[in-house]
């Protein structure tokens, strides 16, 4: 990862997704048509423990359809999303979140940084 990515992650005050251009060494089904891939380092303790126990990264969708409002609790997640995933963790489903939507920043191979959200 480029040094700027670590700087962005360390200074983030909300969830952060970094989109990398023309990635290599990633599972083909995790790469978008243009060759990019969005990556988020989980700060949530449960997510960190799950990833550590699996010994591999997790591929996941957002909890909302692009352009729709971010759900504040499990009950607000669209049926389209829930029916389209392989597995839903039965944990903290009754908790509401006050967390803001993630920032999304694209890091291009030429060093350009583009703020998407």
Q: What is the pLDDT of residues 77-111, one digit of tens each?
A: 999 899 988 889 998 898 887 667 788 999 988 88
| CA-based nearest residue to 41, from 7, 86, 65, 66 | 7
Residue 60: strand, helix, or coil: coil
Q: What is residue 5's predicted lDDT score, i.e. its pLDDT?
A: 84
User: Are residue 10 and residue 56 in the same domain, yes or no?
Assistant: no
Domain span at 59:
45-100
Prediction pTM value: 0.74
Q: Which residue has the tokens 């591999």?
A: 56
Q: What is residue 53's predicted lDDT score, i.e. its pLDDT?
A: 96
Q: Is the pLDDT of residue 59 over 80?
A: yes
User: Are residue 91 and residue 117 in the same domain, yes or no?
Assistant: no
User: Are residue 63 and residue 93 in the same domain, yes or no?
Assistant: yes
Name the domain count of the chain. Answer: 2
User: Are residue 66 and residue 29 in the same domain, yes or no?
Assistant: no
Q: What are the helix (H) ranges across 1-117?
A: 3-11, 45-54, 79-84
User: Are residue 13 and residue 55 in the same domain, yes or no?
Assistant: no
What is the CB neighbour count within 10 angstroms for residue 16? 19
């Amino acid at each position: 990862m480029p040094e700027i990515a670590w700087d962005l992650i360390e200074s983030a005050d909300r969830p952060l997704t970094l989109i990398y251009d023309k990635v290599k060494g990633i599972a083909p089904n995790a790469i978008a048509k243009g060759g990019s891939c969005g990556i988020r380092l989980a700060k949530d303790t449960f997510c960190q423990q799950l990833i550590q126990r699996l010994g591999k990264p997790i591929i996941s969708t957002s909890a909302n359809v692009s352009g729709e409002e971010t759900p504040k609790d499990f009950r607000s997640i669209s049926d389209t999303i829930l029916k389209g995933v392989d597995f839903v963790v039965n944990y903290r489903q009754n908790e509401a979140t006050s967390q803001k939507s993630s920032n999304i920043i694209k890091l291009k191979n030429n060093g350009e940084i583009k703020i998407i959200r």
